[in-house]
């Protein structure tokens, strides 16, 4: 009968995760920037509309502006969480690699 010996696999997990979180954070930063532009555009549109004449349009743009602001705040919250996780990964990046043991 053949004797089983352990096989050790080392994975650079934290380095990969740190890079992945950096990439996701960069994408979210771009989205947040675009939302800032959209909010500015909505504010400009609201200032050029007479609410007594175009009430429905004013309400629609106001609603859109609120949704843009809420989404922007959510994205910034997610970005802050990602940044904390990335910093945690950066600290662990140079520690020993994760070891996965399996039987051959």
For range 4-9, the mean pLDDT: 54
- Rg over alpha carbons for the chain, rounded to the nearest Å, is 24
Does the predicted model carry a pTM greater than 0.85? Answer: no
- Contact of 58 with 49, CB cutoff 8 Å: yes
- Contact of 13 with 91, CB cutoff 8 Å: no
Q: Is the dihedral of CA 56, 61, 62, 68 positive or negative?
A: positive
The tens digit of pLDDT for each residue in 11-42 reads 577 778 889 999 999 999 999 999 999 999 99
For range 69-89, the mean pLDDT: 94
Q: How many CB atoms lie within 10 A of CB 35?
A: 20
């Amino acid at each position: 009968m053949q004797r089983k010996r352990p096989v050790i696999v080392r994975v650079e997990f934290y380095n990969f995760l740190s890079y992945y979180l950096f990439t996701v954070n960069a994408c979210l930063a771009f989205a947040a920037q675009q939302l800032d532009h959209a909010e500015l555009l909505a504010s400009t549109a609201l200032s050029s509309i007479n609410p007594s004449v175009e009430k429905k349009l004013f309400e629609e743009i106001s609603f859109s502006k609120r949704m843009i602001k809420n989404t922007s705040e959510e994205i910034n919250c997610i970005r802050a969480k990602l940044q904390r996780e990335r910093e945690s990964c950066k600290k662990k990046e140079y520690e020993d690699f994760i070891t996965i043991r399996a039987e051959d």
